Amino acid sequence: MTDRVAIEPVIDYLTGLQERICEGIKAADGDGAFREDTWTRAEGGGGRSRVLAEGRVFEQAGINFSHVAGESLPPSATAHRPELAGRRFQATGVSLVIHPRNPYIPTSHANVRFFIAEKDGAEPIWWFGGGFDLTPYYGNDEDCGHWHAVARRACEPFGEDVYPRYKKWCDEYFFLRHRNEPRGIGGLFFDDLNEWGFEKSFAFMKSVGDHYLDAYLPIVERRRDTPYGERERDFQLYRRGRYVEFNLVYDRGTLFGLQSGGRTESILMSLPPLVRWRYNWRPEPGTPEARLYEHYLKPRDWI
């Protein structure tokens, strides 16, 4: 590996990405504004959290930049990577979750991140990770095809096998084992990426981040004015419960943030403002709600 590993250009890219995505989401909403909080972390680093609440299109949109550092890693990081023990670390990323008001617009999530652990006299250990995924309430084949076509386009310059591999990883990662169902229709997920060297790995992370708005905003525009009533809203709130369950039980970023002393408000801004659980609820056969389970919550080739 001959290229130089440096966190500064990654931070520059990520802060710019947060800015661009906030601008795109604000323009699509047309009414709401982002509240910004900058914060520092006692152990090192900090971040910039931006939340749009009660907008015209988006009930809540949280877009977070963070750059944290420390002298030792939390258990979530060292459990499967014992070689990281005893190293100081830096982690930086942009993470976002967009919860729309209209149930016909899917919830979307994206994250791109970089991690480096260093020790005097030793080579640094580093990697990139991230991806984006889509969680519809009332699925639409056109939307699913568009989302995955853009995901494939983000991967194409890096090899024909990249999209199929990271699509499969996304399907497997965003899966609620206790429910035996996927969270949504997937997209891309990658982690521990360093085998391409720093420059190419960084370029791939940037491609994923740069394609998010292209993947999501056309879907928002197509569905934003779809009429809905209490039935659709009720189902949306019920299905949001799955989102909460995944983020609190399985999500690596949530666990890392909480265990590393991150800012709780920023970590949990991914949760929807309103949600509903029901005991042992099942959709009636033949309904649009049942179709979500039968057709959309099944890993498939959407392109």
Helix (H) or strand (E) holding 21: helix 8-29
* pLDDT at residue 77 in the model: 66
Q: What is the pTM of this model?
A: 0.93
**Bridge partners of 110?**
96, 132
Q: CA–CA separation, 175 vs 160, rounded Å? A: 25
Q: What is the DSSP string of 68-83?
A: EEESS--HHHHSS-GG
Q: Is 95 within any annotated ligand binding site?
A: yes
Q: Is 113 within any annotated ligand binding site?
A: yes
* pLDDT at residue 239 in the model: 96
* pLDDT at residue 2 in the model: 53
In sequence order, what are the residues at sequence separation of 6 or more whose Cβ sits closer than 8 angstroms to the Cβ of residue 293?
Answer: 181, 283
Q: Is 72 within any annotated ligand binding site?
A: no
* pLDDT at residue 120 in the model: 82
Tell me how many helices (H) and strands (E) the chain has.
9, 9
Q: CA–CA separation, 265 vs 256, rounded Å? A: 14
Q: CA–CA separation, 221 vs 201, rounded Å? A: 32
Q: Is 152 within any annotated ligand binding site?
A: no
Annotated catalytic residues are 109
Q: Is 76 within any annotated ligand binding site?
A: no
* pLDDT at residue 93 in the model: 95
* pLDDT at residue 1 in the model: 43
Q: Which two tokens stand for residue 147?
A: 């989302």
**Domain spanning 7-296: CATH superfamily:** Coproporphyrinogen III oxidase, aerobic (3.40.1500.10)
What are the sequence ranges of the domains in the chain? Answer: 7-296
Q: Is 233 within any annotated ligand binding site?
A: no
Q: Is 261 within any annotated ligand binding site?
A: yes
Tell the burial category of 280 from Cβ atoms under 10 Å away from its Cβ (0-12, 13-18, 19+). exposed
Q: CA–CA separation, 146 vs 169, rounded Å? A: 19
Mean pLDDT, contiguous 10-residue spans, the chain (303 residues): 82 98 97 91 89 96 93 72 84 96 97 92 91 96 97 97 97 95 96 95 98 98 97 97 90 77 79 92 95 94 93
Q: Is 46 within any annotated ligand binding site?
A: no
Cα three-residue angle 222-98-22, rounded to 5 degrees: 90
